[in-house]
Amino acid sequence: MNSNLNRNSSGFLANWFLGYIMVIILLFGVNSSLAQSVNNQIVVGERFTIESKILNEKRTYSVYLPASYKNRPEQKYVVAYVLDGERNKFLEVSGIAQSMHSVQDLKLQIPELIIVSIENIDRTRDFTPTNSTNYLDREDIAAFKTSGGAANFMAFIENELMPEINSKYRTHDQDLIIGHSAGGLFALHCLLENPELFTYYLIIDPSWFWDHNYIGKRGKEVLQQKTDLKARVFIGLANNLKDDKRHYQWGVEFFDLLQKNPSPYLWEAFKYFEDEKHLTVPIPATYYGLRYLFQPYEIDLNEVTENPSVLEEYRKKTSEELLLEIKPDEWFVNRIGYVALYDRQIPDAAISIFELNTRNYPNSLNVWDSLADAFIVKGYYDKAKSCYERILELSPTNSNAKKKLEELKKM
């Protein structure tokens, strides 16, 4: 069980980081690697409507597919279900997620995600687990009269929306939920009442106040008894101390319950954003949340070029800590191999990196061609020939491999 309680005074660096992320989002619509161009327009995603029998209404959601989706038909993807998923939130989360996985920029902090952004009809009804008109010390909030429909909304996601997404797209069994404010309250409700629904929980400044800290009281009941949780949980808390100090107190108390839970496959982190308020915290919390939730997935360029054997344990590590069966990304590892081969001129390391790629992706023409390049740099011409012969076994008409073999015969 891992934990991290961090009161973070971010100062100048945090402001710089926030500005950087905002630039990414503003440029999102002109990034050709992020979306497809249709008739000179950049298409980020697509909106769909689903008829819900459980909710007795039509619901709209948007889908972002990662850049590799069409080119890698064998690959499966984690799905991130985003609450409050109107246009701005859809662009925000998709932009951050894409910027954190970029083979071209040698960044592999998180896996590529399918983003499913669920738009609202009545968020008070859908996100709240009890019917209550209470807000801290008031008991007469008229806007809360429709509250208490979280169980139905959870059933809609589990029994209607998820089956539709899984039938349309190539998805892993492990899913992520991202919720802010009342959406964070709903995510906590899922964790307590239906913890197998999601594997990853990114919870941003949730509404602890709801119904006299209902979720905290329910957390004590559940988390003191349940010992088989399998999840990674990130809670980001804004600075709401001027509004009411209980927000921070209840957040710390709930995190303490997570820390004390003995489940061996429960990982949790808590980050306090001292310089952010309730409405400004989603962007930095989304970045840090994704970074924590998928930390075992990250591959560091410098670490691999110095010691390629670290990739040998990658599959085991991600399986145990991410609860996800996944191999090191073929194209990212290939890129690192070429950095080692040409930029840093350490061909032995490059050979080790490329060889690992051939073991993970034995039917890829690309990995055998790259390994041949490294063998040629070292002068291992017979080994290079065997690579091109392997390519021809996989693709008998491959003209490049034939040409390379003819060239090697003359050496």
Instruction: State pLDDT tens for residues 349-374.
Output: 999 999 999 999 999 999 999 999 99
Provide the H-helix boundaries in 261-326.
Answer: 282-293, 301-306, 314-321
Which pLDDT score is estimated for 5? 46
Beta strands in 74-184 (DSSP E): 77-82, 101-102, 107-108, 113-118, 171-180
Percent of the chain with pLDDT over 90: 82
- Main-chain phi, psi angles of 402, to 5 degrees: -60, -45
Class of domain 317-409: mainly alpha
Instruction: Kindly tell me the sign of the dihedral angle through the C-alpha atoms of 365, 368, 373, 376.
Output: negative
| SS3 (DSSP) at 127 | helix
Provide the H-helix boundaries in 179-245.
Answer: 182-193, 210-223
Output the furthest CA–CA distance in the chain (Å, rounded): 88
Which pLDDT score is estimated for 38? 59
- Beta 200-204 vs 230-238: how paired, if at all? parallel
Mean pLDDT of the chain: 91
Which pLDDT score is estimated for 325? 87
Place of tokens 């999601």: 198
Which pLDDT score is estimated for 10? 39
- The residues, ordered by sequence, that sit 6+ positions from 232 with a Cβ below 8 Å of its Cβ are 199, 200, 201, 267, 268, 292, 293, 321, 322, 323
279-314 per-residue burial string, b: 16 or more CB within 10 A, e: under 16 = eebbbbbbbbbbbbbbbbbebebeebbeebeebeeb
pLDDT bin (cut points 50, 70, 90) of residue 34 is: very low
CATH topology of domain 5-297: Rossmann fold (3.40.50)
**All structural domains of the chain with their residue ranges:** 5-297, 317-409
Dist. CA 19–CA 137, nearest whole Å: 37
Instruction: Kindly tell me the sign of the dihedral angle through the C-alpha atoms of 64, 114, 22, 37.
Output: negative
Q: What's the average model confidence in pLDDT over 138-164?
A: 96
First to last CA, the chain: 57
Dist. CA 286–CA 72, nearest whole Å: 27
Instruction: State pLDDT tens for residues 376-410.
Output: 999 999 999 999 999 999 999 999 999 999 999 88
Which pLDDT score is estimated for 11? 40
- Beta 57-64 vs 113-118: how paired, if at all? antiparallel
Which pLDDT score is estimated for 205? 98
